[in-house]
């Protein structure tokens, strides 16, 4: 069981804060009754927001998208900008699993499976995400070891699971780095802590999934085997 506002957000309808607003205003129903803030529900409950059923029983769809930069990682955008959902040809309401920054490219998953989305997004499951960052300046051996050991950002240690300098020239270098969390701008903040700006950032893998065979803006469906493998990661 999860808090209602969290379930609404994970179904891609709106943000958790907006969901709380809808609940407070009596605009959310659970099993045909007006909901209250903080109540706990399951993904099997009938949930309506603004008279729209948000979790109707649908066939589950799973997509892996190579997100271009300057695309919003959201189901919709108040400013009318293009979102990752706009790039997928689907007749069901899908939404991204987690997010990538507007100016970050790379691998992002989209689905209408709220349970899997919640599992993959929960910090305790520590799903590895690997990025390639183009960084201003050269990472020194001392800075490399600092990153490898992990840095504290906002008093919380960022666990680095993989680290390799791929190449470098006079004023920039490319670094491959893996982490298991999803705080906003966390890769950029890691390098900024060491005095290096990130010029370009791409997520190249998510758990065991990668971008092989895809160009920017392209996507593919996940296989049944891949979906089962994602579920198998939960709770390990």
Same fold, 62-123+210-233 and 128-206: no
Note the maximum CA span of the chain. 64
* Residue 112 in tokens: 């209408």
Q: What is the mean pLDDT of residues 157-178?
A: 95
Highest mean pLDDT among 25-29, 57-61, 183-187 belongs to 25-29
Q: Percentage of the chain with pLDDT > 70?
A: 96
Look at residue 235 and tell me whether its pLDDT is greater than 60: no
> How many CA atoms lie within 13 Å of 20's alpha carbon, on the beta-carbon side?
6
Residue pair 124/65 in contact (Cβ under 8 Å)? The answer is no
Q: What is the pLDDT of residue 14?
A: 74
The pLDDT tens digits for 194-206 are 999 999 999 999 9
93 and 190 in contact (C-beta within 8 Å)?
A: no
Q: Could you tell me which residues come within 8 angstroms of residue 75 by beta carbon, excluding any fewer than 6 positions away? A: 12, 13, 83, 85, 93, 94, 95, 96
Residue 85 pLDDT greater than 60, yes or no: yes
Catalytic residue annotation:
101
CATH architecture type of domain 128-206 = 2-Layer Sandwich (3.30)
How is the chain split into domains, by residue range?
A: 2-53, 62-123+210-233, 128-206
**Contact between 13 and 21 (Cβ < 8 Å):** no
Mean pLDDT, the chain, whole residue set: 90
Homologous superfamily, domain 2-53: RNA-binding S4 domain (3.10.290.10)
- Report residue 86 as tokens: 């706009």
Give kind and range of the element (H or E) at residue 141. helix 141-149
pLDDT of 88 over the 70 cut? yes
On whether the CB atoms of residues 150 and 157 are closer than 8 A, the answer is: yes
115-148 tens-digit pLDDT:
788 888 887 888 999 999 999 999 999 999 999 9
Q: Is 62-123+210-233 CATH 3.30.70.580?
A: yes
pLDDT surpassing 80 at residue 55: no
**pLDDT bracket for residue 7 (50, 70, 90):** confident
pLDDT score recorded for residue 56:
56
């Amino acid at each position: 069981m999860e808090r209602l506002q969290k379930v609404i957000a994970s179904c891609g309808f709106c943000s958790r804060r907006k969901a709380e607003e809808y609940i407070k205003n009596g605009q959310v129903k659970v099993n045909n009754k007006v909901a209250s803030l903080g109540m706990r529900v399951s993904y099997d409950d009938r949930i309506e927001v603004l008279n729209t059923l948000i979790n109707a029983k649908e066939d589950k769809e799973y997509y892996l998208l190579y997100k271009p930069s300057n695309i919003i990682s959201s189901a919709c955008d108040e400013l009318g900008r293009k979102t990752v959902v706009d790039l997928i040809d689907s007749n069901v309401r899908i939404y991204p699993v987690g997010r990538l920054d507007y100016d970050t490219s790379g691998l992002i998953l989209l689905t209408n499976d709220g349970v899997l989305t919640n599992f993959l997004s929960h910090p305790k499951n520590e799903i590895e995400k690997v990025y390639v960052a183009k960084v201003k300046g050269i990472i020194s051996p001392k800075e490399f070891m600092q990153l490898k050991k992990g840095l504290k950002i906002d008093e919380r240690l960022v666990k680095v699971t993989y680290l390799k300098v791929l190449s470098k020239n006079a004023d920039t270098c490319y670094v491959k780095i893996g982490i298991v969390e999803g705080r906003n701008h966390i890769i950029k903040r890691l390098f900024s802590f060491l005095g290096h700006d990130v010029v370009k950032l791409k997520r190249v893998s998510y758990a065991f999934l990668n971008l092989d065979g895809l160009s920017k803006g392209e996507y593919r469906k996940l296989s049944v085997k891949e979906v089962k493998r994602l579920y198998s990661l939960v709770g390990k």
